[in-house]
Amino acid sequence: MKANKPECVKDKTVLFDIFKRVECCLSQDSAEPGLPRFFEFANLLFLKLLEERQKEPLWTSLKVQRDKTQYLNGFLIPTLHTKYNAADVFAPTQITQETVIKKIVTLLDKYHLTSFDSDILGDAYEYFLRNNISSKQNLGQFFTPRHIVK
């Protein structure tokens, strides 16, 4: 069976739809809105972007694992800590439902995210901030509104 070629992301509407679907998955695992959900997503998104940009097969290795949670916490996160000297950046996942990680991996795998000329991690952060009003107080201290940036 031939693998489908990932769809190129062409605009923020598609990107934000992806983020919305991921957030829905994370809410099924009772991940708290705002920063906790963003951090859970950021680890997976980083792995996807890393492979697209540098052809490092960490994302591919996650896709084929049966127990993605264990593999993420037991191998991938420690690998990122060591390789990028980033123990304070990548935290083990708190996702308890294996199906949630599988859904997110399957969703992200359908898209070629680096085809969109944007700071994808920054866009994800912005999305999670704007769509979690209750958490704006915590996240807002790190966010500069777009009109001020421009």
Give per-residue pLDDT as tens, 23-59.
Answer: 999 999 888 888 888 999 999 999 999 999 988 899 9
Q: Comparing C-alpha atoms, which of 32, 12, 8, 41 is closest to residue 135?
A: 32
What is the Cα–Cα distance from 22 to 37, expressed in whole angstroms?
9
Which tops the pLDDT comparison, 144 or 90? Answer: 90
State residue 112 phi and psi, 5-degree precision: -100, 100
CB atoms within 10 A of CB 116: 17
pTM: 0.82
Mean pLDDT of 77-102: 93
Whether pLDDT at 21 is above 90? yes
Q: Comparing C-alpha atoms, which of 138, 118, 106 is closest to residue 39?
A: 138
Whether pLDDT at 135 is above 60? no
Q: Comparing C-alpha atoms, which of 95, 93, 94, 113 is closest to residue 19?
A: 113
pLDDT band for position 1 (50/70/90)?
very low
Contact criterion met (CB below 8 Å) for 56 and 119? no
Res 136: pLDDT: 46
Res 65: pLDDT: 96
Res 134: pLDDT: 53
* 8 DSSP assignment: E
Whether pLDDT at 148 is above 80? no
Res 107: pLDDT: 96
Which tops the pLDDT comparison, 139 or 59? Answer: 59
**Dihedral sign, CA of 58, 11, 147, 124?**
negative
What is the Cα–Cα distance from 111 to 5, expressed in whole angstroms?
8
Which tops the pLDDT comparison, 132 or 59? Answer: 59
Q: Which amino acid is at 30?
A: S
- The partner residues of 112 in beta bridges, in order of sequence, read 8
Which tops the pLDDT comparison, 123 or 105? Answer: 105
Q: Which amino acid is at 64?
A: V
Mean pLDDT of 52-68: 94
In sequence order, which residues have a C-beta less than 8 Å from that of residue 27 and are 6 or more positions away? 33, 37
Which tops the pLDDT comparison, 6 or 133? Answer: 6
